[in-house]
Structure 1
Amino acid sequence: MRVLSIQSSVSYGHVGNSAAVFPLQRIGIEVMPISTVCFSNHTGYGSWRGPHLSGDDIREIVTGIEERGGLADVDAVLSGYQGGDDIGDAILDAVTRVKQHSPNAVYSCDPVLGNAKSGCHVAPEVQSLIRDRVVPEADLVTPNQFELGFVTGTSPDTLESTLDSISRMREIGPRSVLVTSVERPERAHDNVMEMISVTGDEAWIVETPRLPIKANGSGDVTAALFTAHLLRSGDPKESLARTASSVFALLEQTLASGRRELQLIEAQTAYAHPSMQFEPKLLTSHI
């Protein structure tokens, strides 16, 4: 299995491709990473160093891969944070070119826009790009609950309204949706987080304990692992269970370390051999 992953890259810490590539490799996926930025560290520190790549830079790299025959037999294109509309256009161009060589390839998009606490943290032109052009081209999207609402123009909060928003998202284009960081008033108690996966006519929800940690890059790991598991197995329940178990173990180990950055390497056994301690439940509501 081969994935073309177009995301940011940092030297210190783990976000973007620096978070997604190693877990994919650890479960046996061949990854072709393309960096959209090459930064010293993620922007959450408030300062960083290093260059942005332009959309033309991305196209040049994709062309070089194509000239080597590397766009044949690609199973998925994976994208995350898009710092500018020129990068988004280049990613969409890459998806088109990949599908010309690999018609069955899936475009998996993490529509990074923001979160419920801080709102949108990308430029208005990027918001429009993701909502109006990128999501309709995606086969699989992995928004958090806030991003789900932003893209669909809805206000998901309860289970019912979140499922309604997922249905709206699928009408826009994507066949499969994974919603992360789900919080709803009717959940069992406040110290849990949930993810909901909808593929075909099946909707699954999984619950994990809420850990007192905010770890940049965990969403990138989640999107990468879920994409790979779903493509490999075709089983949304198993894919959700494996992803939840792996990411929870990663966050648990990061919390125990007392460090700010994901303990990506130290938790590597959890990707290849997750403990499968979380059992997704089937939702029967109007999917």
Structure 2
Amino acid sequence: MKSVLSIQSHVAYGYVGNRAAVFPLQRLGFDVTAVNTVQFSNHTGYGQWTGQVFSAEHIADVVDGVAARGGLEGCDAVLSGYMGEAGLGQVIVETAARVKAANPRALYCCDPVMGDVGRGFFVRPGLPEFIRAHAVPAADVITPNQFELEYLADRPIVTLEDALAATAAVRARGPRLVLVTSLTHAAVPADRIEMLVDGPDGARVVETPRLPLDPPPSGAGDATAALFLAHLLTTGDPAQALEAAAAAIFAVFETTRDRGSRELQLIAAQDRLVAPPRRFASRPVR
């Protein structure tokens, strides 16, 4: 059984951060150690929430406790999401280095949670700069959305060629693989959406229908990053991981639409996470 250390946000109500990542990983057969960077009542997209961001010292203390139980040596991957603030981000990057020192084959998958199209940045000042300068170069895999990729590469994305130039620029700074979890460009119809993976063996895109979800459920990127990492660890093949993640998150979106919810319906869709009813073939683009 493979294991993942997942360090990201937690909400009591709804499905974002670890609440969106841990269950899919477990349902796919992974043992998950979850460390929560925040505890909020609900995700911030509601406009009101309660709770707090945990301090860097608190997270470091929790990680040290996990390490004392031997919980870092057996990790096959570290998955990070919402970091809270730069000091906490430094603890996460150092934790990934500790895991990789104990297991040189372990991966660090960084979901650079910073913002989104339409919302802009929604994290504390200084965190985007920390992610770009420190977390991304330390990662083996990063999973930005289009807005985050534009920031990391410091260039707008209008065409597929722009997206490929952006992923190449980011990969040149350290990560082996870049998964763009949501991509639209001039050649994508309004009722479709793409995901793109770029790595040393080339780049591929997969296209799925864009379902009418209003408002779009938060946490989709968190779940997609977890699904991609799970299938990458299982198959070792970025193309297979891309197709499997796209099929699974589409199945979750369908269930969410059918239930009329603004929260990802991960529990209701759990069997479809494992065996999605629809598959989508990827195609090479570089």
- State TM-score, norm by structure 2: 0.96
Q: Flag structure 2 segments of 5+ consecutive residues without an equivalent.
A: none
Counterpart-to-counterpart distance in 2, 1:46 and 1:159: 33
Choose from 235, 240, 248 the match for 1:246: 248
For residue 274 of structure 1, report the CA deviation from its aligned partner. Answer: 2.0
Confirm or deny that 1:54 pairs with 2:66.
no
Q: Secondary structure at the match of 2:21?
A: helix
2:249 aligned with 1:261: no
Which whole-Å deviations, capped at 9, do the CAs of 1:125-178 have from their partners, x for residues lacking one? 101101111111111000011111101111122011110111101001100010
Q: How does 1:158-177 map to 2 (within 5 A)?
A: 158-177=159-178
The yes-or-no answer on 1:150 pairing with 2:145 is: no
* Cα distance in 1 between the residues matched to 2:101 and 2:206: 36
> What's 2:106 paired with?
105
Q: For residues 113 and 31 of structure 2, what CA distance do their matches in structure 1 show?
A: 24
Q: Indicate the residue corresponding to 2:197 in structure 1.
A: 197
Distance in 2, matches of 1:7 and 1:123, equals 15
Equivalent position SS for 2:113: coil
Whole-Å Cα distance in 2 between the matches of residues 27 and 108 of structure 1? 17
Q: Which residue type is aligned with residue 203 of structure 2?
A: A
2:29 corresponds to which residue?
Answer: 28
Larger displacement relative to structure 2 (80-89 or 221-230): 80-89
Residues in 2 aligned to 1:78 and 1:61: alpha-carbon distance in whole angstroms: 16
Does the aligned pair in 2 maintain the 1:197–1:205 contact within 8 Å? yes
> 137-146 vs 46-55, which deviates more?
46-55
Match of 2:129 in 1: 128
AA aligned opposite 1:226? F
Percent identity of equivalent pairs: 48
Query: How big is each residue's C-alpha offset from its partner over 1:231-252, in whole Å with a ceiling of 9 and x where there is no partner?
Result: 2101122111110110001011
Cα shift at 1:182: 0.7
What SS does the corresponding residue of 2:51 show, helix, strand or coil?
coil
Count of aligned positions: 283
Partner of 1:76: 77
RMSD: 1.1
Counterpart amino acid of residue 281 in structure 1:
R
Per-residue Cα deviation, 1:192-221 (whole angstroms, up to 9, x for no partner): 000001122221100000112101111100
Contact 1:241/1:276, CA 8 A, preserved across alignment: no
Distance in 2 between residues matched to 1:146 and 1:259, nearest whole Å: 25
Q: Scaled by the length of structure 1, what TM-score is found?
A: 0.96
Say which SS state the counterpart of residue 155 (structure 2) adopts: coil
> Where does the alignment leave 5 or more consecutive residues of structure 1 unmatched?
none
Question: In 2, distance between residues paired with 1:151 and 1:51?
Answer: 27
